[in-house]
Structure 1
Amino acid sequence: MSFDNVYESLIEENDARWAFGTGFEDPLSGVDTSVPDGLDAAALGAYCLMLGDDALIFSHRLQEWVTHAPELEDEVAIANIALDLLGQARLLLARAGRADGSDRGEDSFAFERVENEFRNVRLAELDGGHFGHLIARLFVFSTWRLALMQELEPGADPVLAAIAAKAVKELTYHRDYAAQWLIRLGDGTEVSHERAQEGLDATWPYVGELFTTHPLELVDAATLREEFDAVAGQVFTAATVSWPESGAVAGVSGRMGRDGVHTEKMGFLVGELQSVARAMPGATW
């Protein structure tokens, strides 16, 4: 397939396979990764790291649900969503290493950092609960991330813009899948309605962080809230669920995941994610 420019190849890239030791080709191979004039390279690298960590960590959590979904079709859907996010993580982590001048690769970022060096939002690392919790987290995460990627698509960095364009296509499906399930649960039986509401209530304390702009972010996260609320309002009405009460999770002096302050769940997640890499450093197969 031919492309008008090299960045279009990132949009069409569909190989999301990735695991420690497999030695897949650099996802940005052949792409001009120089930072455009006028952009702060360090800030761009830090922001790509944040976005890459969001995708990597939430992908890991989604993978844990495979074999636990209520229907076989949903096993496949959840696995595919996890792979989409893993593909986004690969591109973003690779971009981070090229932009910040460290030239670190995706494996290095994923497997050679400790817990407080990850910069993902805390919503991405939540685990456990029932299917209603999963759907609530997926709906919130996808709705927020889709609005964010839409803002990044026309951005000044052509690499990040191409990654965002690819992500928009994927996240549109992710949001639709989660919304349909939230409506199905909320407007279903008394038990399913209760679980949908429980999932939203448990997720909502982590929503505020999504719209709190970190100094290194290239998009003002607060500006995404209007679209998020509009979409959520439509889905909540169709699902016959109530808006969860506003609340916030206590951080450390107001700090959050973007600063490396995570929930107690994160340490266990990182330990599992990195177990093979730590046991067999440098291994390939």
Structure 2
Amino acid sequence: MNAPQTPASPSVTAPVDYVLHLADNALVLGQRNAEWCGHGPILEEDLALANNSLDLIGQARMLYQHAATLINADATQAARFAHLLGARQGGELTEDTLAYFRDVPEFRNFTLLELPHHGPLAGTAAGDRDYATTITRNFLYSALMVLVWERLQTSRDAQLAAIAAKSLKEVRYHLRHASDWLVRFGDGTDESRCRAQAALTHLLPYCQEFWIGSPTEQQAATHQTGVRLTELQANWNALVDETLTEATLQRPSGAGFVPQGQLGVHSEHMGFLVAEMQSLARNHPEAVW
């Protein structure tokens, strides 16, 4: 395992929206994976997905704490997020405020991460959880975040660099877990291979969003606090192709509509996810957790 690299100096802070993008990605996928708690195909996987969720929500907490600190210290940013304080009767923003009191268009996560654990059904449709879909999504996202966190260890934002160093250790496990299962599915029975291939065909087009960028990503990269994902695309493709070859799965074209969740334009599934996630906090906004 590579030792964390020393961030460049002097230290500066990453754009708030960039930190929120990273936090939202972790929170939303953590929420999705937590839906397997008590429903895993075997006990070991029930626990594995629960631990995966805890890792992601832990990353989200650190990132939201960092974002809240940046917002509270900047009058312009504080005014921008002032509408969130009404629910908490004033005070400063916290990790809970940012997670539980923003509305769907304010989230900046990739659309891939908010999709349900089955094929392309409407948000109100009933569908059985498909473990191949969950594993494939975790694989595609973890392959990206291994590269992202590795690069962010040298962020000029010292706090973000420290978060990256911790998160990298966790996401390496997530990638290994998802890769191992994808190989088992692809090189297993006809049923498991069919499900894995269908999940890959369904989900890979959503990964196009990784490479479209955003003004916030551009700003972070320019100031060396973030990374342009297009710089990681070749390495991500190599990671994906290596595992798919071992799994004897065919890589689909991945072409189609390019989602824009990171710009606040979400699928119909996001509203259902956020409503369930935020219901307790919104019903008891003064509660202390």
TM > 0.5 fold call: yes
Q: In structure 2, what is the equivalent of residue 207 of structure 1?
A: 207
Q: Note if 1:94 corresponds to 2:98.
A: no
Query: How far apart are the structure 2 equivalents of 1:146 and 1:114?
Result: 29
Q: Note if 1:274 corresponds to 2:278.
A: yes
Q: Which amino acid aligns with 1:126?
A: L
Task: List aligned pairs for 1:257-268, cutoff 5 A.
Answer: 257-268=261-272
Give the Å deviation of 1:37. 6.0
Q: Which amino acid aligns with 2:288?
A: T
Query: How far apart are the structure 2 equivalents of 1:189 and 1:231?
Result: 24
- For residue 119 of structure 1, give the secondary structure of its aligned residue in structure 2: coil
Query: How far apart are the structure 2 equivalents of 1:276 and 1:200?
Result: 34
Q: In structure 2, what is the equivalent of residue 117 of structure 1?
A: 106
Deviations 1:57-114 (A, max 9, x none): 0000000112222111001110000000000000001111212333521100011111
Q: In structure 2, what is the equivalent of residue 107 of structure 1?
A: 96
Task: List aligned pairs for 1:55-94, cutoff 5 A.
Answer: 55-94=26-65
Count, aligned residues = 245
TM-score (norm 2): 0.81
Q: In structure 1, what is the equivalent of residue 166 of structure 2?
A: 166
Query: How far apart are the structure 1 equivalents of 2:256 and 2:283?
Result: 37
In angstroms, what is the RMSD of aligned CA positions?
Answer: 1.6
- For residue 282 of structure 1, give the secondary structure of its aligned residue in structure 2: coil
Q: Is the 8 A contact 1:94 1:104 kept in 2?
A: no
Query: How far apart are the structure 2 equivalents of 1:192 and 1:47?
Result: 37
Q: Is the 8 A contact 2:10 2:156 kept in 1?
A: no
Could you say if the C-alpha distance between residues 95 and 236 of structure 1 is closer, same or farther in structure 2, counting changes exceeding 3 Å?
Answer: same
Q: Note if 1:146 corresponds to 2:127.
A: no
Give the Å deviation of 1:249. 2.9
Q: In structure 2, what is the equivalent of residue 230 of structure 1?
A: 238
Deviations 1:249-277 (A, max 9, x none): 355xxxx1121110000001110011001
Give the Å deviation of 1:212. 2.0
Could you say if the C-alpha distance between residues 229 and 250 of structure 1 is closer, same or farther in structure 2, counting changes exceeding 3 Å?
Answer: closer
Query: How far apart are the structure 2 equivalents of 1:83 and 1:46?
Result: 23
Q: In structure 2, what is the equivalent of residue 132 of structure 1?
A: 132
Structure 1: state its 5+ residue gaps: 1-10, 12-35
Q: In structure 1, what is the equivalent of residue 126 of structure 2?
A: none
TM-score (norm 1): 0.82
Deviations 1:170-204 (A, max 9, x none): 00000000000000000001111001101111111
- For residue 281 of structure 1, give the secondary structure of its aligned residue in structure 2: coil
User: Which stretch of structure 1 is more off in the superposition, 95-104 or 77-86?
Assistant: 95-104
Structure 2: state its 5+ residue gaps: 79-91, 119-129, 218-225
Query: How far apart are the structure 1 equivalents of 2:38 and 2:257?
Result: 30
Query: How far apart are the structure 2 equivalents of 1:250 and 1:230?
Result: 21
Q: Which amino acid aligns with 1:59?
A: G
